[in-house]
Amino acid sequence: MDNLDPVREKITELTDRLTRYSYAYYQEDTSLVSDYEFDRLLKELEDLENRYPQFRLPYSPTQRVGGEPVRNFKTVYHTVPMLSLGNTYSREEVAEFDARLRKLTDQDFDYVCELKYDGLSISLSYKDGILVRALTRGDGVKGDDVTGNVKTIRSVPLRLARGGNYPDSFEIRGEVLMPRASFEELNRQREEIGETPFANTRNAASGSLKLQDPAQVARRRLDCFLYFLIGDSIEEKRHEKRLELASSWGFKTGRYHKRCAGLREVFEYMDYWEKERENLPFDIDGIVIKVNDTSLWPRLGTTAKSPRWAIAYKFKAKRALTRLNEITFQVGRTGAVTPVANLDPVSLGGTVVKRASLHNADIIKKMDVRIGDYVYVEKGGEVIPKITGVELSRREAGSRPFDFIGKCPECGTALVRKDGEAGHYCPNEENCPPQIKGKLEHFISRKAMDIDSLGEGKTEILYEKGLVRDVADFYDLRYARLLDLSNGVVSFKDKTVENILNGIARSKSRPFERVLYALGIRYVGEATAKVLARHFRDMPALMAASFDELREVEEVGDAIAGSIVEFFSRPQERRIVERLAAAGLRMEYEEMKSETLPLQDTVWVVSGTFSRSREEMKRLVEYFGGKMQSSLSGKTSHLLAGDRMGPEKLKKAQKLDIPLVSEAEFYTMIGGEPSASLFDGQADMPGRQQVPAAPALPVQGDLFDGE
């Protein structure tokens, strides 16, 4: 039997090291290592875990990228029911809340005010410092076990710092939310592939946490704030201190809470955040006021649904009343038809609103919105203002219910509604003008074929003039025809024409996956295009793939597979692809060559003695993309530590939390030890003065293929 102890030790060491790095990064906003180094260590750990799954630790950071998908979430009872909060929109009621509590208690007390995060609540259980379970609120009594998904949230510690004074077993509750930046990126991607964007960050967070595939959740970039520590064994009784305690164990509690002595300070906090909320990187929908002394909590008790020792003050959504003049319809690139309310301009939360989304036919029907009605427009957590109701008292006599259109407003084709979807589509993909224009614009966009010499304006002209009707037409454009356009209303100058043609010619060298993405197949975004390209290798193979073959590809679900099959079943699309191939576009996948150097973005100090001279070690650092520094500072990312390093350096490195890298580890990082001859060999060469030329460096691996 092999002795596997070293493997087990290596796995433990890597796991702990990565845990430390993540903690610093996500809780303390400091980077101890470069992204490159982090990813490299993670990959190393992943490989080892795959080979020796028996040694994988339950808190392994590899789970951050997503474990096994689940079919259905297990329902689990909460040890302590998850209550909700009584809430109010009025300051008077907050004052009543305070007066009620003062009457119920015979001692003075203070409050802790917190933000009311706009997400969904979660309960985390830890045993011996390891996250063992994450449950959603569900109905308050039992919730869904979403542990695998929650493990992908970087700010949730999978294991608490060793030696922390946390109980062996405890629960902590908080809110999972989606930061605005992640939300905008997610919606951008969804629109790109023709999916309906999420209305607000809360829906996006809750939709994400309910996905069955943790790998997909990992990409959603959720965050989690904790605000409620449960456990009788916790001696600390002040809520404020409990938050600090939780933070010291590694939880993200946010720095927004404040102890407030009385009502006046509570109101100050309320007013401050009502204005300041715009500047937070995430959405809040109010603030929460809690009695600080938790020993008063049981005495104050709970009502059926919520505790008496806390209340939520919710910010009023900004709302305005205005007249609905008209409902128009927008047709997108994928044929999706969106109703848009055209309003009498009204000012709302600092901007003038003229248009608002009406989502779909069902919502219009449910609200019974009619032309000429006075409607309420709200700007809450939503990106686009929405209509939330009708002021019936101002309805004009003789108004009639609104009939949703049956035909495409652009091309007159009868609209269709797909099973299970609320939206209407125009099926005339091949001839409906906004769909064609949308496809052309998508094709030339930066992430697709990146033909920046064209742009939306010029594309529109080419379309209107009949020069470009499908994406393959771009490659048939000729100098004379383009210059001819000068005779009309528009005038393309020599230089412009040359630019356009050069841009188009250059686009022929875009890799296959970009060509595939550029085709604009519904549901095939950038990432999916890459996966498909890598899997099928070339266009003919992809075009020939059956639904089942497509489904076998990781990340390809029914919707994507169906959409691809449907796309390539259309003779017109097949013809376009053939013409693109004939024009010289890439239809075969080529393995990406690594372009980054292994030490890119790292900053080094070299100290002590090595098997080579220190100068050589420094040159190696620089050669492989690292930066050299003469002494340790906050910028240093690694200390290359040889023998006989001074104790002062060591102390300083520890203080700054800079990882020490041994000579052997260093060689691993650069993909192997350079052969001795390179530095010491040829006696007649002054080799030490010069950085060796790249191709001559005999490193292992393919790190230099991109050079």
Catalytic residues: 116
Shortest distance, position 504 Cβ to ligand IVH, whole Å: 52
Q: Which of residues 167-186 bind ligand IVH (CB under 6 A)?
A: 175
Transcribe 64-130 into DSSP letters.
GG-----SSPPEEE-SS------EES-HHHHHHHHHHHHHH-SS---EEEEEEESSEEEEEEEETTE
Q: Which two tokens stand for residue 522?
A: 């519904």
Q: How far is CA 422 from the centre of its chain?
A: 26
Q: Is 253 in the site for ligand IVH (CB under 6 A)?
A: no
Interface stretch with ligand IVH, choices 99-107, 110-118, 183-191, 506-514 (CB under 6 A):
110-118
The residue among 404, 416, 412, 407 whose CA lies nearest residue 334 is 416
Cβ nearer to ligand IVH, comparing 111 with 512 = 111
Q: Which residue is nearest to ligand IVH (CB)?
A: 121
- What is the C-alpha separation between 497 and 508, in angstroms, rounded? 17
Interface stretch with ligand IVH, choices 78-86, 157-165, 236-244, 534-542 (CB under 6 A):
78-86
**Identified binder of ligand IVH from the candidate list 49, 114, 171, 213, rule CB under 6 A:** 114
Q: Which two tokens stand for residue 197?
A: 């964007």
- What is the C-alpha separation between 435 and 680, in angstroms, rounded? 66
Interface stretch with ligand IVH, choices 111-119, 210-218, 321-329, 335-343 (CB under 6 A):
111-119
Shortest distance, position 197 Cβ to ligand IVH, whole Å: 23
Q: Is 517 in the site for ligand IVH (CB under 6 A)?
A: no
Cβ nearer to ligand IVH, comparing 303 with 689 = 303
Q: Which of residues 122-161 bind ligand IVH (CB under 6 A)?
A: none
Q: Which two tokens stand for residue 357?
A: 């989304």
Kindly list the distances between the CA atom of residue 46 and the CA atoms of 5, 43, 53, 503, in Å, as whole numbers in the listed order.
Answer: 17, 5, 10, 42
Which stretches of 628-692 are DSSP H helices? 647-656, 663-669, 677-680
The residue among 237, 82, 224, 51 whose CA lies nearest residue 154 is 224
Q: How many CB atoms lie within 10 A of CB 411?
A: 16
Q: Is 312 in the site for ligand IVH (CB under 6 A)?
A: yes
Q: Is 282 in the site for ligand IVH (CB under 6 A)?
A: no
Residue 625-644 contact track with ligand IVH, rule CB under 6 A, x = bound: --------------------
**Identified binder of ligand IVH from the candidate list 116, 333, 386, 649, rule CB under 6 A:** 116
Shortest distance, position 150 Cβ to ligand IVH, whole Å: 15
Q: Is 228 in the site for ligand IVH (CB under 6 A)?
A: yes
Which residues, 6+ apart, have CB-to-CB distance to 402 below 8 Å?
327, 364, 369, 370, 371
Interface stretch with ligand IVH, choices 115-123, 391-399, 455-463, 589-597 (CB under 6 A):
115-123
Q: How many CB atoms lie within 10 A of CB 531?
A: 17
Q: Could you give phi then psi for residue 662, rounded to 5 degrees?
A: -80, 170
Q: Is 113 in the site for ligand IVH (CB under 6 A)?
A: no
Kindly list the distances between the CA atom of residue 291 and the CA atoms of 128, 262, 486, 549, in Å, as whole numbers in the listed order.
Answer: 29, 10, 75, 59
Interface stretch with ligand IVH, choices 114-122, 359-367, 590-598, 668-676 (CB under 6 A):
114-122
Cβ nearer to ligand IVH, comparing 81 with 345 = 81
Cβ nearer to ligand IVH, comparing 85 with 260 = 85
Amino acid symbol at 481: R
Q: Is 410 in the site for ligand IVH (CB under 6 A)?
A: no
User: Strand pairing of 638-641 and 660-661?
Assistant: parallel
Indicate the DSSP class of residue 36.
Answer: H
# binding residues, ligand IVH (CB under 6 A): 16
Q: Is 201 in the site for ligand IVH (CB under 6 A)?
A: no
Shortest distance, position 123 Cβ to ligand IVH, whole Å: 10
**Identified binder of ligand IVH from the candidate list 7, 83, 405, 656, rule CB under 6 A:** 83
Q: Is 84 in the site for ligand IVH (CB under 6 A)?
A: yes
Which residues, 6+ apart, have CB-to-CB distance to 480 below 8 Å?
none
Compute the radius of gyration of the chain from its Cα atoms: 31
Q: Is 309 in the site for ligand IVH (CB under 6 A)?
A: no
**Identified binder of ligand IVH from the candidate list 288, 341, 485, 561, rule CB under 6 A:** 288
The site for ligand IVH (CB under 6 A) is made up of 83-85, 87, 114-117, 121, 175, 227-228, 288, 307, 310, 312
